[in-house]
Amino acid sequence: MISRVLQYAIERHRQRMELKNLSLTDELTGLYNRRGFVALAEQQIKLSCRTKFGFLLFYIDLNNFKAINDTYGHGTGDQVLVEFAKILNMTFRESDIIARIGEDEFVALAIQSVESSSDILLDRLSENMKRSQAKSAESFKLSISAGIETFDPSHPCVIDELLIRADKRMYANKRGEAGSRPA
Protein backbone atom coordinates (compact mmCIF):
# COMPACT_ATOMS: atom_id res chain seq x y z
CA MET A 1 0.00 0.00 0.00
CA ILE A 2 2.72 2.49 0.98
CA SER A 3 4.69 1.47 -2.09
CA ARG A 4 1.73 2.26 -4.35
CA VAL A 5 1.14 5.63 -2.66
CA LEU A 6 4.83 6.47 -3.04
CA GLN A 7 4.77 5.47 -6.72
CA TYR A 8 1.70 7.64 -7.25
CA ALA A 9 3.37 10.62 -5.54
CA ILE A 10 6.54 10.20 -7.62
CA GLU A 11 4.52 9.95 -10.84
CA ARG A 12 2.50 13.08 -9.98
CA HIS A 13 5.73 14.98 -9.26
CA ARG A 14 7.21 13.82 -12.58
CA GLN A 15 4.07 14.91 -14.43
CA ARG A 16 4.10 18.32 -12.70
CA MET A 17 7.73 18.84 -13.65
CA GLU A 18 6.99 17.80 -17.24
CA LEU A 19 4.07 20.26 -17.44
CA LYS A 20 6.21 23.03 -15.97
CA ASN A 21 8.92 22.29 -18.53
CA LEU A 22 6.37 22.35 -21.36
CA SER A 23 5.05 25.71 -20.16
CA LEU A 24 8.56 27.25 -20.25
CA THR A 25 10.03 25.78 -23.44
CA ASP A 26 9.31 25.96 -27.15
CA GLU A 27 8.19 22.51 -28.25
CA LEU A 28 9.77 22.73 -31.71
CA THR A 29 13.25 24.07 -30.89
CA GLY A 30 13.67 22.99 -27.27
CA LEU A 31 14.70 26.55 -26.40
CA TYR A 32 12.93 28.58 -23.74
CA ASN A 33 9.72 30.27 -24.85
CA ARG A 34 8.86 33.88 -23.95
CA ARG A 35 7.47 32.89 -20.54
CA GLY A 36 10.57 30.86 -19.66
CA PHE A 37 12.88 33.57 -20.93
CA VAL A 38 11.19 36.38 -18.99
CA ALA A 39 11.24 34.36 -15.76
CA LEU A 40 14.97 33.64 -16.08
CA ALA A 41 15.82 37.13 -17.32
CA GLU A 42 14.07 38.71 -14.33
CA GLN A 43 16.21 36.54 -12.04
CA GLN A 44 19.32 37.55 -13.99
CA ILE A 45 18.49 41.24 -13.61
CA LYS A 46 18.32 40.81 -9.82
CA LEU A 47 21.60 38.88 -9.82
CA SER A 48 23.27 41.47 -12.05
CA CYS A 49 22.20 44.27 -9.72
CA ARG A 50 23.69 42.39 -6.74
CA THR A 51 26.96 41.42 -8.45
CA LYS A 52 27.32 44.64 -10.50
CA PHE A 53 27.98 42.59 -13.67
CA GLY A 54 25.93 43.56 -16.70
CA PHE A 55 24.83 41.45 -19.62
CA LEU A 56 24.01 41.73 -23.30
CA LEU A 57 20.59 41.08 -24.79
CA PHE A 58 20.49 40.01 -28.45
CA TYR A 59 17.14 40.28 -30.26
CA ILE A 60 17.44 38.27 -33.48
CA ASP A 61 15.05 38.00 -36.42
CA LEU A 62 15.39 35.51 -39.28
CA ASN A 63 15.14 37.57 -42.46
CA ASN A 64 12.66 36.42 -45.12
CA PHE A 65 11.44 33.49 -43.05
CA LYS A 66 7.89 33.86 -44.41
CA ALA A 67 9.27 33.40 -47.93
CA ILE A 68 10.97 30.14 -46.85
CA ASN A 69 7.66 28.86 -45.43
CA ASP A 70 5.73 29.98 -48.53
CA THR A 71 8.24 28.59 -51.04
CA TYR A 72 9.48 25.39 -49.39
CA GLY A 73 6.64 24.60 -46.98
CA HIS A 74 6.19 24.71 -43.23
CA GLY A 75 8.12 21.46 -42.73
CA THR A 76 11.22 23.10 -44.18
CA GLY A 77 10.49 26.23 -42.15
CA ASP A 78 10.39 24.11 -39.00
CA GLN A 79 13.73 22.51 -39.94
CA VAL A 80 15.22 25.99 -40.39
CA LEU A 81 14.01 27.01 -36.92
CA VAL A 82 15.44 23.86 -35.33
CA GLU A 83 18.77 24.33 -37.12
CA PHE A 84 18.94 27.99 -36.12
CA ALA A 85 18.29 26.99 -32.49
CA LYS A 86 21.30 24.64 -32.75
CA ILE A 87 23.39 27.48 -34.20
CA LEU A 88 22.42 29.72 -31.27
CA ASN A 89 23.35 26.96 -28.82
CA MET A 90 26.77 26.65 -30.52
CA THR A 91 27.28 30.42 -30.48
CA PHE A 92 26.36 31.25 -26.91
CA ARG A 93 27.52 29.67 -23.67
CA GLU A 94 25.54 27.05 -21.81
CA SER A 95 25.06 29.56 -18.98
CA ASP A 96 23.47 32.12 -21.35
CA ILE A 97 19.69 32.22 -21.75
CA ILE A 98 18.40 31.54 -25.28
CA ALA A 99 14.74 31.61 -26.30
CA ARG A 100 12.39 31.60 -29.26
CA ILE A 101 9.91 34.36 -28.48
CA GLY A 102 8.03 34.63 -31.77
CA GLU A 103 7.60 32.78 -35.05
CA ASP A 104 11.04 33.76 -36.34
CA GLU A 105 12.31 35.88 -33.43
CA PHE A 106 14.88 34.74 -30.91
CA VAL A 107 16.63 36.33 -27.96
CA ALA A 108 19.87 35.49 -26.23
CA LEU A 109 20.92 36.93 -22.90
CA ALA A 110 24.72 36.75 -22.67
CA ILE A 111 25.43 36.72 -18.94
CA GLN A 112 28.35 38.77 -17.58
CA SER A 113 29.18 40.09 -21.04
CA VAL A 114 30.25 43.62 -21.86
CA GLU A 115 29.34 45.71 -24.89
CA SER A 116 32.76 45.15 -26.46
CA SER A 117 32.05 41.41 -26.73
CA SER A 118 28.90 41.96 -28.83
CA ASP A 119 30.86 42.08 -32.11
CA ILE A 120 32.71 38.90 -31.17
CA LEU A 121 29.44 37.10 -30.50
CA LEU A 122 27.86 38.40 -33.74
CA ASP A 123 30.93 37.27 -35.70
CA ARG A 124 30.73 33.83 -34.07
CA LEU A 125 27.01 33.64 -34.89
CA SER A 126 27.68 34.61 -38.50
CA GLU A 127 30.48 32.04 -38.81
CA ASN A 128 28.32 29.28 -37.30
CA MET A 129 25.54 30.17 -39.75
CA LYS A 130 27.95 29.96 -42.70
CA ARG A 131 29.23 26.56 -41.55
CA SER A 132 25.70 25.26 -41.13
CA GLN A 133 24.62 26.52 -44.55
CA ALA A 134 27.70 25.02 -46.20
CA LYS A 135 26.54 21.60 -44.94
CA SER A 136 22.93 22.18 -46.01
CA ALA A 137 21.51 20.97 -49.31
CA GLU A 138 18.96 23.80 -49.38
CA SER A 139 19.39 26.50 -52.01
CA PHE A 140 18.32 29.44 -49.85
CA LYS A 141 20.66 31.51 -47.72
CA LEU A 142 19.63 32.36 -44.22
CA SER A 143 20.33 35.83 -42.86
CA ILE A 144 19.46 37.64 -39.67
CA SER A 145 18.91 41.09 -38.28
CA ALA A 146 19.97 41.66 -34.70
CA GLY A 147 19.47 44.35 -32.11
CA ILE A 148 21.73 44.42 -29.07
CA GLU A 149 21.13 46.13 -25.75
CA THR A 150 23.45 46.27 -22.76
CA PHE A 151 22.04 45.88 -19.27
CA ASP A 152 23.91 48.22 -16.93
CA PRO A 153 23.27 47.30 -13.28
CA SER A 154 23.98 50.89 -12.21
CA HIS A 155 20.95 51.93 -14.33
CA PRO A 156 18.57 48.96 -13.96
CA CYS A 157 15.39 48.50 -15.95
CA VAL A 158 12.78 45.77 -16.34
CA ILE A 159 13.21 43.04 -18.95
CA ASP A 160 10.26 44.28 -21.03
CA GLU A 161 11.96 47.66 -21.46
CA LEU A 162 15.20 45.98 -22.50
CA LEU A 163 13.34 43.77 -25.00
CA ILE A 164 11.58 46.78 -26.53
CA ARG A 165 14.87 48.67 -26.97
CA ALA A 166 16.63 45.63 -28.48
CA ASP A 167 13.65 45.02 -30.79
CA LYS A 168 13.80 48.64 -32.01
CA ARG A 169 17.52 48.27 -32.70
CA MET A 170 16.86 45.05 -34.59
CA TYR A 171 14.29 46.77 -36.82
CA ALA A 172 16.66 49.72 -37.38
CA ASN A 173 19.28 47.19 -38.46
CA LYS A 174 16.77 45.48 -40.75
CA ARG A 175 15.97 48.84 -42.39
CA GLY A 176 19.68 49.69 -42.65
CA GLU A 177 19.43 52.87 -40.61
CA ALA A 178 22.56 54.77 -39.63
CA GLY A 179 24.04 53.60 -36.37
CA SER A 180 22.57 50.14 -36.67
CA ARG A 181 24.76 47.06 -36.68
CA PRO A 182 24.51 44.47 -39.44
CA ALA A 183 24.56 40.82 -38.41
Assess contact for 52 and 151: CB atoms under 8 A.
no
The length of the chain, given as a count of residues: 183
Q: Which of 61, 104, 123, 160 is catalytic?
A: 104
User: Does the annotation mark 104 as catalytic?
Assistant: yes
Nearest-angstrom CA–CA distance, 12 and 6: 10
Assess contact for 164 and 157: CB atoms under 8 A.
no
Give, in order, the Cα–Cα distances in Å from 12 to each of 16, 21, 26, 42.
Answer: 6, 14, 23, 28
Residues tagged active-site: 104
